[in-house]
Amino acid sequence: MTTPLRIGIAGLGTVGGGVLSLLGAHAERINAHLPRPITVTAVSARQRGRNRGVAIDSYRWFDDPVALAESDEVDLFVELIGGEDGPARASVEAAIGRGKPVVTANKALLAHHGTRLARLAEAAGTTIKFEAAVAGGIPIVKTMRESLQGNTIRRVYGILNGTCNFILTAMAEEGRDFAEVLAEAQARGYAEADPTFDIGGFDAAHKLALLTSLAFGTKPAIGEVYIEGIENIERADMEAAAELGYAIKLLGVALATEHGIEQRVHPTMVARGSAIAGVNGVSNCVAVEGDRVGHIMLVGAGAGAGPTASSVVSDILDVARGDQSPVFVIPAAELKDIERAGMKAHEGAYFVRLAVYDRIGAFAAIATRMAEQRVSLESIVQRRGGSAGGGKPQGDGVPMASVVLITHRTTERAIREALAAIETDGHLNGRPQLIRIEDF
């Protein structure tokens, strides 16, 4: 009989527990069709005695994940610890150093150190697989690695953070404020106690950096991602968006342009009738535009024990079937540096919301500044009252107006310069709100 592939799992939180549970429930069926059966032999976590809902007594216990990765009883190392450095990185490097394949859900590790780790793995004759690192249970890594290889990719984008999507959906559907919904997301366990990583856009940026590499054959480059979070989105933006036929989503977008590759994570206005506008709550989605396949979109759970374990186990099975392919599809030595298209060159339409002192000449000055930068306006709505960027609803006894503009396609440089000039004119109470509109 073929010797089993012995698996060591480091990190027994939600995902690690989900992997043990999945394998416990389905191992017999899975092993019936594998050239080499799989078996978990060893585990490691911070606390041995914690109740995880799955028994771990039958596995060899390691306090140190590096020792687990190096153990002679482990052929495949599964890293579910998380974090770009520390024990996660040390244990992955230890496994690779012994020529062992690695399966990981760690987007931060690969977004920061992916190229180096891929080189090490390839030099050691092994590989790293990371389906669970991008959008949890959605099989987008495999889809891009295998099913879309005949295509030249123009754009890959998606809703890559469930916490942000939950918050934005609740703000839009229930008319609630950001801070209140964030508190609920924390109470439900979606957002961390320190939610900066999610709401600041960093988690989505890590995932986008990996998608960009798969789409364009480039080195993962988290430092080249433009990042804006959702913390400045106000109820007034949601109301204006709904009135104008848009929904607001935190999108990650990687786009090939004549100036290079744009990698950006930011709140985005999307048409209410678009497929992506209908992806709500904690769901994620990833869409790809290829020259032959056209536009495809995968939607599903971006986190959680079951969905993420589904992706981890998919990678384990690929290793058991003998898949040794390069980490980022092509050999690490052939990955190109990102030629970054700066945000100033970004082209698109924009939503602008301004809290304006309602006095003679204010509106005309705004229109003049836009015209000076050759920014053409598609629609203008002015209402009495309103605030922007945390400004006071009423300014110094002068009546206020809320002005919402939608521009035609322009450049980021032009709209930013127009807004800077409008600010210096002194007609605004608070900072302008600027949200990019994305066409699909």
Q: How far is the CB of 311 from ligand HSE (least distance, A)?
A: 12
Strands 246-257 and 260-271: antiparallel
- Of the candidate spans 137-145, 158-166, 331-339, 346-354, the one that interacts with ligand HSE by CB under 6 A turns out to be 158-166
Q: How far is the CB of 271 from ligand HSE (least distance, A)?
A: 23
Site string for ligand HSE, 274-313 (x = CB under 6 A): ----------------------------xx----------
Of 112 and 369, CB closest to ligand HSE: 112
Q: Fill in the amino acid letter for 384.
A: R
Q: State yes or no: residue 161 binds ligand HSE (CB under 6 A).
A: yes
**Distance separating the N- and C-terminal Cα atoms of the chain:** 53
Of 285 and 434, CB closest to ligand HSE: 285
Site string for ligand HSE, 186-205 (x = CB under 6 A): ----x-------x----x--
Q: State yes or no: residue 348 binds ligand HSE (CB under 6 A).
A: no
- Of the candidate spans 155-163, 228-236, 249-257, 383-391, the one that interacts with ligand HSE by CB under 6 A turns out to be 155-163
Q: Give the Cα separation of 433 and 99 in Å (integer).
A: 51
- Of the candidate spans 157-165, 244-252, 341-349, 376-384, the one that interacts with ligand HSE by CB under 6 A turns out to be 157-165
Of 16 and 302, CB closest to ligand HSE: 302
| CB-CB contact of 261 with 341 (8 Å) | yes
Q: Fill in the amino acid letter for 183.
A: A
With left for phi above 0 and alpha for psi between -120 and 50, is residue 164 left, alpha or beta? Answer: alpha
Q: Which residues contact 99 (CB under 8 A, 6 or more apart)?
A: 124, 125, 126
Q: How far is the CB of 249 from ligand HSE (least distance, A)?
A: 13
- Of the candidate spans 19-27, 28-36, 160-168, 377-385, the one that interacts with ligand HSE by CB under 6 A turns out to be 160-168
Of 198 and 358, CB closest to ligand HSE: 198
Q: How far is the CB of 161 from ligand HSE (least distance, A)?
A: 4
| CB-CB contact of 189 with 315 (8 Å) | no
With left for phi above 0 and alpha for psi between -120 and 50, is residue 256 left, alpha or beta? Answer: beta
Q: How far is the CB of 203 from ligand HSE (least distance, A)?
A: 5
Active-site residue identified among 100, 107, 129, 207: 207
Q: State yes or no: residue 117 binds ligand HSE (CB under 6 A).
A: no
Q: How far is the CB of 398 from ligand HSE (least distance, A)?
A: 42
Of 100 and 206, CB closest to ligand HSE: 206
Is residue 184 packed enough to be buried (19+ CB in 10 Å), middle (13-18) or exposed (0-12)? middle
Q: Give the Cα separation of 290 and 298 in Å (integer).
A: 14
Joined tokens for residue 324: 């040794």
Q: State yes or no: residue 163 binds ligand HSE (CB under 6 A).
A: yes
Of 161 and 218, CB closest to ligand HSE: 161
- Of the candidate spans 67-75, 159-167, 219-227, 388-396, the one that interacts with ligand HSE by CB under 6 A turns out to be 159-167
Q: Give the Cα separation of 261 and 169 in Å (integer).
A: 29
Q: Give the Cα separation of 137 and 299 in Å (integer).
A: 9
DSSP E strand boundaries for 37-174: 38-44, 60-62, 76-79, 102-104, 128-129, 153-159
Q: State yes or no: residue 162 binds ligand HSE (CB under 6 A).
A: yes
Other Cβ atoms less than 10 A from the Cβ of 97: the count is 15
Q: How far is the CB of 163 from ligand HSE (least distance, A)?
A: 3
Q: Please state the φ and ψ torsions of residue 154, each to the nearest 5 degrees.
A: -100, -40
Q: How far is the CB of 265 from ligand HSE (least distance, A)?
A: 12
| CB-CB contact of 276 with 159 (8 Å) | yes
344 catalytic residue (yes or no) = no
Q: Which residues contact 39 (CB under 8 A, 6 or more apart)?
A: 4, 5, 6, 7, 27
Q: Give the Cα separation of 37 and 434 in Å (integer).
A: 54
Of 122 and 198, CB closest to ligand HSE: 198
Q: How many residues form the binding site for ligand HSE (CB under 6 A)?
A: 8
Catalytically annotated residues: 207
Q: Which residues bind ligand HSE (CB under 6 A)?
A: 161-163, 190, 198, 203, 302-303
